[in-house]
């Protein structure tokens, strides 16, 4: 990581990036989808090990053309009135990751 970029990256994020760079490459395309998703979940579980407490976290289902989609509402401390909304769609290509794989990241954003 460049010195300039390092100024914007926390120590915790730098550790995650270093771990990702050090991990061996995985050929997900050569695997069955269920196996690839399970491996992705195992390899990335460490992102969520440290829980970030929030006063409200609510499981939701949003209607979609192919059926309901899982969603999660994160309400920050002091968020008792109407608040702005952030819709976070991670870059998993509708293949990998989801509500659980990005939980800690979204808790931090909600703070």
What pLDDT is stored for residue 30 in this prediction? 95
pLDDT (average), residues 13-37? 89
What pLDDT is stored for residue 1 in this prediction? 62
pLDDT by residue (tens digit) across 36-95? 999 988 888 888 888 889 999 999 999 999 999 899 999 998 877 788 888 888 777 778
By the 8 A CB rule, do 68 and 48 touch? no
Please determine, for residue 102, whether its predicted confidence score (pLDDT) is greater than 80.
Answer: yes
On the 0-12 / 13-18 / 19+ scale of CB atoms within 10 A, 104 is middle
3-state DSSP: the chain helix, strand, coil percent, rounded to 5? 40, 15, 50
Tokens of residue 6, six digits: 């390092």
By the 8 A CB rule, do 53 and 70 touch? no
CA 43-36-96 angle, 5° bins: 75
What pLDDT is stored for residue 2 in this prediction? 66
Tokens of residue 90, six digits: 């991670």
Tokens of residue 86, six digits: 């952030």
- For residues 59 and 10, the model is more confident at 59
- Predicted structure pTM score: 0.74
């Amino acid at each position: 990581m460049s010195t300039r970029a390092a100024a914007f990256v926390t120590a915790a994020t730098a550790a995650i990036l270093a771990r990702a760079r050090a991990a061996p490459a995985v050929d997900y395309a050569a695997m069955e989808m269920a196996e690839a998703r399970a491996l992705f979940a195992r390899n990335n579980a460490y992102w969520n090990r440290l829980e970030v407490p929030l006063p409200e976290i609510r499981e939701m289902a949003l209607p979609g053309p192919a059926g309901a989609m899982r969603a999660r509402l994160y309400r920050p401390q002091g968020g008792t009135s109407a608040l702005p909304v952030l819709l976070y769609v991670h870059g998993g290509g509708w293949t990998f990751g989801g509500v659980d794989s990005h939980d800690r990241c979204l808790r931090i954003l909600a703070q």
